[in-house]
């Protein structure tokens, strides 16, 4: 069997077993219980909640992220093993949502970690979440969910953005920008 | 050369049995999730979900380790549980178990547990240490009623070899049909619940309290190996119960019926371990979790007291 | 050559005392002198039916000796039982000294002198053929242990050892004297005991006296204090080697001198004498309580000390049951315990040597720093927990089989549950000391310490593969007691109930390990530093404020359940006895008022009682 075929089989099987770790920030965490329990039952697609990022494949960012939380999210994301996927919930992760003018939340999650899939809504309904998972599975099968590859490829840029977000003084931001210029 | 061929056949048979054991274990994983889902009024994953999960874990692109002691966990847990399986009489197959006895198997079961604990401790995660502590105390808790009943049985049947015990129970003289050992079977079934770490005794894993305890740092192929261990452990532990009380699933004698007996016995054994596991799942699906000292007190107070009655019965029976 | 050996060892004692300032030279002298018992061992290998090549036995030792020592005679001779226990002591002793050569720094001369004297004493005890010689050498050994305990300088250890040591000496002396008045001889060979009550009392006293050294409950109180407050090489030899002398004495007096038929004459229960049954029950209680107490300790040495007490209990169970199977199991357990407990104490010493800490909760993460020490300790722990990848399992298995064979319904579960309890404290050592968060950036232990530990691990591996060899060694001992050796080949031990085939276990384990190794090595992996650990996403900067080592109060739920029952139970019982004695003594003191009229009343009362007794009788 050629390597490509093997990869295809591997993707085909792996998509049926998505273990997720949900980072419960914001209000999106409330949408998870109905998805997991008997009303929608995501387990029928092989999706199961896991306790630690070491075991998980999918990271769910369920709402807005403050700068402080972003630090933890990056730590958790880096502890997950490849291949790994990120789903951003709701408008907060897309453009800040109702926190669009807040001084201490991030506005665009994909600047800091690669996001494979966004779910629009404030908050998205469980149907939308189910739909997102099915979409992610489809993407995995086609080999389009390549966020983890992007993170490896553009690691420096992601790190730079993260450092920019973490630094709370303007002169630190200036230093980072000067470093980039060199 | 004939010897070599015989040896090769033997090794092939062993390898086949072990593969089958792992396959049944992985089936049990999906089966357990399906049954639990149905009790929860859900649809649940497909019944072959266990195979997919293990495949996915071994197909992970990158794996992390915390050093060579951490790696011992994966090695010892898979090797140790395989060893324990090989020494068990399975459906009348006694490959390595013709001489092996119950104490050997109980201690062989400790190899994967201790190896697993070694690797979990080496990760340096406090959750893992707490999980192992709970697992070890739970082990101490359920072993007391278990060994009390086992010792009573061994003294009653005057053997410590499980293979001999299975032979003695053949012809449907199952131990569970002896009234006193029927109580013993209930006691051991309680112990089995702790052994399988199903609720209410899933104290060591407790995903919501201590982040899946010992497994907290395991991912990818390490977790895959541990899953194989846990799945095979289900087969080994339920088989232990079946061998002790249900005659090992042997219903037809091989000398009389030839290879048909092997097939039938095998199917009966499979049905019986599925039944035993199914009972454990029913309890698992509806119970919350004990605290560890509650589990210890449960086993040492109620279960062990009932086991003591059996010991006294055998004591009196032996004296007469 | 025996006398010369004693002479050379005494000479070496003086030399090492003189070499107090040169610890390395003193160590060399002591190690050379310590080889003498080893050469005696190899020279006497013939009596066990072992033929060794001549370069292993360079010195020729006579097999018996009668030496006139002024007021009495020393009767020395080698017996199979003595040879077996000499095997344990003579092999572990030079290795303990080798370890000490880099471990003991201050007042080293005194250390080696004391060690040599304990070995001299135990050498004599093992060879003694009459009660007085036995007692003489026993006391040499006991008092030199006291000298070593004094070096530790802990008051509690000294007081408890002194009181229990003198209790032991008193019991032994009383026992020997009663046997002498009964039989008119001190010679073991001429003692023909009858079934009278006096003999029973004498035997019980002797066994109790020996049980003090064997740390059987409730006479174990001294052991945790002494084991935890003396230098590790000495404790390794004390726990590994010297404590076995108590069980050597029990075997000698119960089966060598009294004999099974005499023990059975005081009543039997399912063919086990009441005497043995009592010993087995005490042994089972010791095994269980020692284990529970070991689980609760935080001091590494105390933990190992209580684990010693627990493991020695198994030997007492075997001796108590007294079937060939049980005696073989007891001898096997004695052999295993010698080596694995010596390794564990030495590993604790090596850890202390590098870190200066004894508390388990303060250690951690040494497994990656001291890998060879860790592996040696791991092997020893596998033996301790009776995992079937070391020889530890065979011994416990023989004892379980023996207990089931004799239908010991209540002792067997206690033994088994104590075996499970051993996992608990074994893992506490592993996690607390060697695994978890690395806190110390230390080097591996010195080479002399590593060599000592690994040479002690060797027997655990050898007797894993060939458990039959121990049965071979036990066969001449059993035949002396008129018993049949258990059926065995080098790899397979068979009992009435089942059989244990080590080759099957080893080959299956090797195969399974190989397969899982292939499965495992299939995928690449990277090693991440310890800081990269899942703590709910907390970033590593915070780690310097958080201790990730969860080893303090490790078994807290367990302690909550068992603590109230077991903690300091035995000591409290002895303290109550002490208080009672003090109360009685104080009462008696009041009688001595110093007034003449009181004393005359006492004399009058005494005569009245005498007369009254005479009248009534």
Q: In 3-state terms, what secondary structure has residue C322?
A: coil
pLDDT score at B274: 92
**How many B×C Cβ pairs under 8 Å?**
241
Q: In 3-state terms, what secondary structure has residue A2?
A: coil
Test mutation, C287, C385, C405, C423, chain B, max B CBs within 10 A = C423
String of DSSP letters for A46-95:
T-EE-SSGGG-SEEEE-S--BHHHHHHHHHHHHHSPSS-EEEEEHHHHHH
Residue B291 DSSP one-character state: P
Residue C495's beta-bridge partner residues?
Answer: none
Encoding tokens for residue C270?
């399912």
Q: What is the ipTM of this complex?
A: 0.89
Looking at the domain A3-181, which fold is it? Rossmann fold (3.40.50)
Cβ distance of B212 and A13 shorter than 8 Å: no
Domain ranges of chain C: 259-500+542-567, 574-616
Domain ranges of chain A: 3-181
What length does chain A have? 182
Helix residue ranges per DSSP H, C297-390: 300-321, 324-355, 371-384
Helix residue ranges per DSSP H, C104-185: 108-127, 131-152, 155-183
- List the A117-119 sheet strands across, edge first: A48-49, A19-23, A58-61, A85-89, A117-119
Cβ distance of B43 and A14 shorter than 8 Å: no
Nearest CA to B208 among A56, A32, A51, A22?
A51
∠ CA B52-B58-B61, rounded to 5° = 115
pLDDT score at B320: 43
Specify whether the CB–CB gap between B91 and C556 falls below 8 A. no
Closest residue of chain A to C538, computed from CA coordinates: A72
Strands A48-49 and A19-23: parallel
Strands C72-77 and C64-69: antiparallel
Q: Within an 8 Å CB–CB cutoff, is residue A13 touching chain B?
A: yes
Encoding tokens for residue B130?
């707490």
Q: In 3-state terms, what secondary structure has residue B30?
A: helix
Task: Give residue C166's Cα distance to chain centre.
Answer: 19
Q: Within an 8 Å CB–CB cutoff, is residue B33 touching chain A?
A: yes
Other CB atoms within 10 A of residue C530 CB: 19
User: Where do we find the tokens 């002792």?
Assistant: C411
Test mutation, C363, C375, C534, C554, chain B, max B CBs within 10 A = C534
Which residues between 358 and 377 in chain C have a beta carbon less than 8 angstroms from any beta carbon of chain B? 365, 367-368, 374
Q: Rounded distance, CA C129 to CA C148, Å?
A: 27
Which residues between 47 and 66 in chain C have a beta carbon less than 8 angstroms from any beta carbon of chain B? none
Nearest CA to C243 among C172, C310, C294?
C310
Task: Give residue C451's Cα distance to chain centre.
Answer: 22
pTM strictly above 0.90 = no
Prior bond of B2 cis (ω within 30°): no
Specify whether the CB–CB gap between A117 and B100 falls below 8 A. no
A124 φ, ψ to 5°? -65, 145
Residue A98 DSSP one-character state: G
Which residues, 6+ apart, have CB-to-CB distance to B86 below 8 Å? B14, B17, B18, B95, B96, B97, C508, C512
Q: Rounded distance, CA A131 to CA C16, Å?
A: 84
Cβ distance of A81 and B207 shorter than 8 Å: no
Nearest CA to C29 among C88, C91, C100, C87?
C100
Other CB atoms within 10 A of residue C136 CB: 18
Q: Rounded distance, CA C249 to CA C176, Å?
A: 12
Encoding tokens for residue B44?
């649940």
**How many A×C Cβ pairs under 8 Å?**
19
Q: Rounded distance, CA C42 to CA C13, Å?
A: 23
pLDDT tens-digit readout, B198-213: 888 888 887 777 878 7
pLDDT tens-digit readout, C537-575: 776 666 666 677 777 788 888 887 777 777 666 667 777
Residue A52 has its nearest CB partner, among C532, C534, C540, at C534
Q: Is A83 exposed, middle or buried (0-12, 13-18, 19+ CB in 10 A)?
A: buried
Q: Within an 8 Å CB–CB cutoff, is residue B202 touching chain A?
A: no
Give chain B's residues under pLDDT 70.
1-2, 97-100, 318-320
pLDDT confidence bin for A169, thresholds 50/70/90: low
Specify whether the CB–CB gap between B99 and C492 falls below 8 A. yes
Angle between helices C80-103 and C447-465 (to 10 degrees): 150
Encoding tokens for residue C59?
């010195």
**Chain B CB contacts of C438 below 8 Å:** 124
Cβ distance of C386 and B107 shorter than 8 Å: yes
Q: Rounded distance, CA A126 to CA A32, Å?
A: 7
Q: Rounded distance, CA B64 to CA B31, Å?
A: 30
Encoding tokens for residue B73?
């966990």
Chains contacting chain A through 3 or more C-beta pairs under 8 A: B, C
Encoding tokens for residue A103?
């001084």
List, run by run, the mean pLDDT of 10-residue segments along chain C (617 residues).
Answer: 83 86 85 87 82 78 79 83 89 89 82 88 88 88 88 83 87 88 82 82 88 82 84 86 88 85 80 85 88 86 89 90 88 91 90 86 83 90 87 88 84 88 89 83 85 89 86 86 82 77 79 80 76 72 68 80 70 78 80 78 87 80
Q: Rounded distance, CA C6 to CA B207, Å?
A: 65
**Chain C CB contacts of A72 below 8 Å:** 536-539
Q: Rounded distance, CA B284 to CA B278, Å?
A: 9
Q: Is C190 exposed, middle or buried (0-12, 13-18, 19+ CB in 10 A)?
A: exposed
Helix residue ranges per DSSP H, C431-485: 447-465, 467-480
- Element of type H or E holding C429: helix C411-429
Test mutation, B11, B95, B133, chain C, max C CBs within 10 A = B133
Specify whether the CB–CB gap between A63 and A31 falls below 8 A. no
Residue C526's beta-bridge partner residues?
Answer: B64
Specify whether the CB–CB gap between C494 and C487 falls below 8 A. yes
Which residues, 6+ apart, have CB-to-CB distance to C384 below 8 Å? C307, C311, C340, C341, C344, C392, C422, C426
Residue A81 has its nearest CB partner, among B41, B46, B60, at B60
Encoding tokens for residue C415?
């033994």
Cβ distance of B132 and C431 shorter than 8 Å: yes
**Chain C CB contacts of B291 below 8 Å:** 557
Q: Is C184 exposed, middle or buried (0-12, 13-18, 19+ CB in 10 A)?
A: exposed
Domain ranges of chain B: 2-319
Specify whether the CB–CB gap between C580 and C460 falls below 8 A. no
- Please compute Rg for chain C using Cα positions: 26
Other CB atoms within 10 A of residue C481 CB: 16
Cβ distance of B124 and C435 shorter than 8 Å: yes
Residue C61 DSSP one-character state: -
**Chain C CB contacts of A54 below 8 Å:** 534
Specify whether the CB–CB gap between C191 and C254 falls below 8 A. no
**Chain C CB contacts of B85 below 8 Å:** none
Which residues between 85 and 144 in chain A have a beta carbon less than 8 angstroms from any beta carbon of chain B? none
Specify whether the CB–CB gap between B274 and B235 falls below 8 A. no
Q: In 3-state terms, what secondary structure has residue C612?
A: helix
């Amino acid at each position: 069997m050629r390597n490509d075929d093997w990869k295809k089989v591997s993707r085909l099987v792996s998509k049926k077993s998505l273990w997720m770790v949900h980072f419960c920030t914001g209000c999106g965490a409330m949408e998870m219980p109905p998805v997991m329990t008997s009303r929608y039952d995501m387990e029928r697609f092989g999706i199961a909640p896991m306790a630690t990022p070491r075991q998980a494949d999918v990271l769910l960012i369920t709402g807005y992220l403050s700068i402080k939380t972003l630090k933890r999210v990056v730590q958790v994301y880096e502890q997950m093993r490849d291949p790994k996927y990120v789903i951003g919930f709701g408008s907060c992760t897309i453009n800040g949502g109702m926190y669009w003018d807040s001084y201490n939340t991030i506005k665009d999650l994909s600047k800091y970690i690669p996001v494979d899939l966004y779910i629009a809504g404030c908050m998205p309904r469980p149907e939308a979440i189910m739909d997102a998972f099915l979409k992610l599975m489809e993407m995995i099968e086609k080999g389009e969910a390549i966020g983890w590859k992007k993170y490896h490829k553009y690691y420096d840029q992601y790190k730079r953005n993260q450092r920019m977000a973490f630094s709370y003084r303007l002169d630190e931001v200036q230093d980072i920008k000067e470093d980039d210029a060199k | 050369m004939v010897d070599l061929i015989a040896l090769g056949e033997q090794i092939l048979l062993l390898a086949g049995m072990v593969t089958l054991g792992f396959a049944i274990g992985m089936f049990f994983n999906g089966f357990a999730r399906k049954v639990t889902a149905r009790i929860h009024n859900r649809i649940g994953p497909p019944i072959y979900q266990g195979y997919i999960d293990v495949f996915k874990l071994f197909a992970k692109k990158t794996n992390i380790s915390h050093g060579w002691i951490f790696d011992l966990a994966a090695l010892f847990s898979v090797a140790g549980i395989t060893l324990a399986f090989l020494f068990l009489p399975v459906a009348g197959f006694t490959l390595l178990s013709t001489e092996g006895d119950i104490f050997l198997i109980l201690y062989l079961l400790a190899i994967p547990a201790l190896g697993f604990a070694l690797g979990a401790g080496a990760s340096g995660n406090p959750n893992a240490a707490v999980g192992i502590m709970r697992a070890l105390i739970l082990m101490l808790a359920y072993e007391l009623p278990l060994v009390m009943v086992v010792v009573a049985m061994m003294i009653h049947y005057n053997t410590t070899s499980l293979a001999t015990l299975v032979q003695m129970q053949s012809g449907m003289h199952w131990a569970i049909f002896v009234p006193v050992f029927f109580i013993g079977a209930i006691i051991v079934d309680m112990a089995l619940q702790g052994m399988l770490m199903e609720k209410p005794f899933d104290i060591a894993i407790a995903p919501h309290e201590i982040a899946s305890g010992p497994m907290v740092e395991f991912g990818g192929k390490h977790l895959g190996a541990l899953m194989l261990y846990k799945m095979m452990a289900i087969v080994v532990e339920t088989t232990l119960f079946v061998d002790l009380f249900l005659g090992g699933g042997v219903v037809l004698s091989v000398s009389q019926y030839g290879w048909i007996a092997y097939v039938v016995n095998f199917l009966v054994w499979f049905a019986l371990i599925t039944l035993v596991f199914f009972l454990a799942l029913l309890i698992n699906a509806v119970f919350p979790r004990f605290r560890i000292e509650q589990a210890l007190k449960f086993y040492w107070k109620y279960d062990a007291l009932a086991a003591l009655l059996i010991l006294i019965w055998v004591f009196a029976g032996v004296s007469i | 050559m025996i006398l010369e050996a004693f002479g050379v060892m005494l000479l070496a004692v003086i030399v090492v005392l003189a070499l107090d300032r040169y610890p390395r030279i003193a160590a060399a002298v002591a190690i050379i002198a310590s080889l003498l018992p080893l050469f005696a061992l190899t020279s006497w290998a013939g009596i066990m039916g072992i033929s060794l090549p001549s370069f292993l036995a360079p010195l020729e030792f006579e097999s018996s000796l009668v030496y006139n020592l002024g007021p009495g005679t020393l009767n020395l001779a080698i017996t199979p039982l003595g040879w077996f226990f000499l095997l344990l002591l003579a092999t572990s002793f030079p290795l303990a000294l080798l370890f000490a050569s880099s471990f003991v720094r201050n007042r080293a001369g005194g250390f080696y002198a004391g060690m040599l004297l304990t070995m001299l004493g135990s050498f004599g005890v093992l060879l003694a053929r009459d009660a007085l010689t036995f007692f003489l050498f026993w006391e040499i050994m006991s008092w030199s242990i006291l000298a070593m305990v004094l070096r530790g300088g802990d008051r509690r250890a000294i007081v408890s050892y002194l009181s229990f040591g003198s209790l032991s000496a008193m019991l032994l002396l009383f026992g020997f004297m009663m046997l002498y008045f009964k039989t008119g001889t001190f010679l073991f060979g001429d003692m023909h005991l009858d079934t009278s009550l006096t003999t029973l009392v004498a035997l019980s006293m002797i066994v109790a006296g020996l049980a003090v050294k064997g740390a059987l409950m409730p006479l174990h109180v001294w052991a945790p204090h002494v084991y935890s407050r003396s230098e590790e090489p000495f404790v390794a030899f004390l726990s590994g080697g010297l404590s076995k002398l108590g069980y050597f004495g029990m075997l000698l007096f119960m089966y060598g001198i009294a004999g099974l038929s005499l023990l059975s004459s005081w009543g039997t229960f399912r063919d086990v004498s009441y005497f043995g049954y009592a010993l087995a029950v005490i042994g089972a209680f010791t095994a269980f309580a020692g284990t529970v107490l070991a689980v609760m300790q935080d001091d590494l040495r105390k933990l190992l000390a209580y684990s010693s007490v627990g493991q020695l209990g198994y030997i007492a169970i075997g001796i108590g049951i007294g079937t060939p199977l049980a005696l073989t199991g007891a001898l096997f357990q004695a052999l295993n315990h010698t080596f694995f407990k010596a390794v564990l104490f030495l590993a604790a010493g090596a850890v202390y040597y590098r870190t200066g800490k004894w508390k388990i909760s303060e250690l951690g993460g040494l497994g990656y720093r001291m890998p060879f020490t860790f592996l040696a300790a791991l092997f020893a722990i596998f033996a301790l927990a009776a995992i079937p990848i070391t020889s530890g399992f065979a011994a416990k298995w023989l004892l379980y089989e023996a207990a089931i064979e004799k239908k010991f319904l209540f002792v067997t579960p206690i033994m088994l549950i104590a075996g499970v309890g051993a996992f608990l404290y074994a893992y506490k050592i592993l996690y607390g000391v060697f695994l978890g968060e690395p806190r110390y950036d230390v080097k591996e232990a010195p080479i002399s310490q590593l060599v000592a530990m690994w040479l002690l691990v060797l027997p655990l591996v050898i007797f894993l593969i060939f458990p039959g060899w121990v049965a071979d060694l036990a066969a001449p001992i059993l035949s002396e007691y008129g018993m049949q050796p258990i059926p065995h080949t080098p790899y397979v031990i068979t009992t009435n109930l089942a059989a244990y085939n080590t080759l099957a276990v080893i080959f299956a384990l090797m195969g399974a390990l190989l397969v899982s190794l292939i499965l495992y090595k299939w995928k690449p992996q990277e090693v991440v530093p310890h800081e990269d650990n899942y703590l709910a996403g907390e970033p590593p900067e915070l780690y310097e404020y958080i201790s990730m080592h969860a080893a303090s109060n490790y078994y807290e739920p367990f302690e909550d359940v068992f603590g109230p029952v077991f903690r300091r139970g035995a000591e409290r019982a002895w303290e109550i006895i002490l208080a009672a004695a003090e109360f009685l003594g104080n009462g008696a003191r009041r009688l001595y008022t110093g007034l003449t009229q009181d004393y005359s009343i006492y004399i009058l009362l005494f005569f009245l009682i005498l007369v009254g007794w005479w009248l009534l009788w």
